């Protein structure tokens, strides 16, 4: 006994799947852009407006950026703190993870209570700052949103 099979329309099937993966990749990339923008707004509005950290200058809030990168086999959305020149804002990690150790303070001029100025010499101080995270809670609080958004994107692509 012998069983033989032949795939008829092989090229048509391959072309259909190639088109599907290309279309799905584009749809997921667009969804990830939307997710990144949502998470950036979430951090700024619900974490850095007095809930976790009080806004003093707005530098930390302005430094929060979202990017989406396509890599082989994956699309990655990343929310980071980047200042001018795309370098990490130094104190973002200080607040996110906390810090315990010595910190060097540069010489500077400060305002006095009476409105004058006072010169402050450089010095070293001990710091024991507990973490006051804003990125990790944002990720955790929005897992359902991200999952639902990606599922809706896949369902939309499958219905085409």
Q: What is the per-residue pLDDT for 118?
A: 95
pLDDT band at 34 (very low <50, low <70, confident <90, very high): very high
Q: Count CB-CB contacts under 10 A for residue 10.
A: 9
Helices (H), 55-142: 59-63, 90-97, 135-141
Share above pLDDT 90 across residues of the chain, in percent, rounded to a whole number: 41
29-38, 75-84, 140-149: the lowest-pLDDT one:
75-84
Q: What is the per-residue pLDDT for 87?
A: 74
Q: How much is the CA Rg of the chain, to the nearest whole Å?
A: 25
Q: For 116-158, how does the pLDDT look when each residue is reduced to its tens digit (9 = 90+)?
A: 999 999 999 999 999 999 999 999 999 999 999 999 998 888 7
SS3 71: strand
**67-86 average pLDDT score:** 83
Share above pLDDT 70 across residues of the chain, in percent, rounded to a whole number: 86
Q: Which residue has the higher pLDDT, 44 or 71?
A: 44
Helices then strands, counting H and E runs in the chain, come out as: 5, 6
Q: What is the per-residue pLDDT for 39?
A: 94
Q: Inform me whether the pLDDT recorded for 17 exceeds 90.
A: no
């Amino acid at each position: 006994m012998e069983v033989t099979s032949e795939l008829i329309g092989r090229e048509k099937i391959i072309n259909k799947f190639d088109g599907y993966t290309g279309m799905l990749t584009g749809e997921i990339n667009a969804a990830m852009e939307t997710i990144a923008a949502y998470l950036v707004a979430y951090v700024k509005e619900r974490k850095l407006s007095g809930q976790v950290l009080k806004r003093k200058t707005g530098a930390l809030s302005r430094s929060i950026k979202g990017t989406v990168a396509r890599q082989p086999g994956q699309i990655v959305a990343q929310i980071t703190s980047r200042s001018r020149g795309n370098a990490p804002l130094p104190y973002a990690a200080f607040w996110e993870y906390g810090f315990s150790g010595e910190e060097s303070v540069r010489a500077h001029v400060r305002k006095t209570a009476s409105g004058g100025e006072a010169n402050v010499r450089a010095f070293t101080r001990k710091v024991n700052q507990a973490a006051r995270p804003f990125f990790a809670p944002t990720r955790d609080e929005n897992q359902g949103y991200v999952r639902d958004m990606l599922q809706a994107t896949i369902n939309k692509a499958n219905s085409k």
